[in-house]
Amino acid sequence: MAAPIRAFRTVVGAEDLCVIDLTQIEVARQLQRHCWTIPVTRRKSQILCPAKGHSGEMILLYQIGAAVLLVLFTVFLQCVGIAGLITWLRSVMPSDMDQRRIANSAALVMQTTVGIIVLQGLIILLWAGCYRSLCFSTWDSAFYFSASSYSTVGYGDVVLPAKWRFLGPLESMVGVLMCGISVSLLFALVTRLVDSEARPRPLRQS
């Protein structure tokens, strides 16, 4: 039943793979999780499975390297965005907050909220670009997975390949921290506006 197995090593992307010609019966026996079958003839198929040896350590190093770069770029983008929003708020907010009207305060809060949403969207796009180049074949799946992971929703209908699955929980943790920083800025703005309204105004001299 078992036909001779011809194996050779090749490199696909950044991962060492072992390509084995097997009969259909052997494919059914040998196919395991995270392996792919490619039809060759009616009686033979090729099965791609991770090569044994140092590939596990290399995959871990790839994950750590990608994670470090993503976290550094995320923190840099977040800090630049928050610093820009703070500078803009200082330039548009008058020194005397009592003179600010309700409509102007509402517009200021709305503009700050939109800026925060745009900033978080850029960070999600950054992670989606990484997923697009490493894991997914379409931008739609990459951006959807990035957004669901960053917001800690995690539906589970789209998942990462096994060798990059560490990035999903990492993005969720980073998303919680970055959203917390952004919300703290919005909270500080609202607190400033509320304190200015609650502060007793000086009496006008007749």
**Domains of the chain: total:** 2
Q: Is the domain of 109 the same as that of 188?
A: yes
120 and 185 part of one domain: yes
What tens digit of pLDDT does each residue of 63-116 get? 888 899 999 999 999 999 999 999 999 888 766 555 567 788 888 999 999 999
Residues 67 and 140 in one domain: yes
Domain range for 136: 56-198
Same domain, 80 and 35: no
Do residue 20 and residue 62 come from a single domain? Answer: no
Residue 203 resides in a domain: no
Rounded alpha-carbon distances, angstroms, from residue 1 to 40, 92, 113, 134: 19, 80, 67, 39
Total-model pTM: 0.66
66/166 same-domain check: yes
Band of the pLDDT at 204, cuts 50, 70, 90? low
- pLDDT tens for 19-78 read 344 444 454 555 444 444 444 444 444 444 444 445 667 778 888 888 999 999 999 999
* 66 occurs within a structural domain: yes
pLDDT digits (tens, 9 = 90+) for 106-146: 889 999 999 999 999 999 999 999 999 988 989 999 999 99
What pLDDT does 29 receive? 53
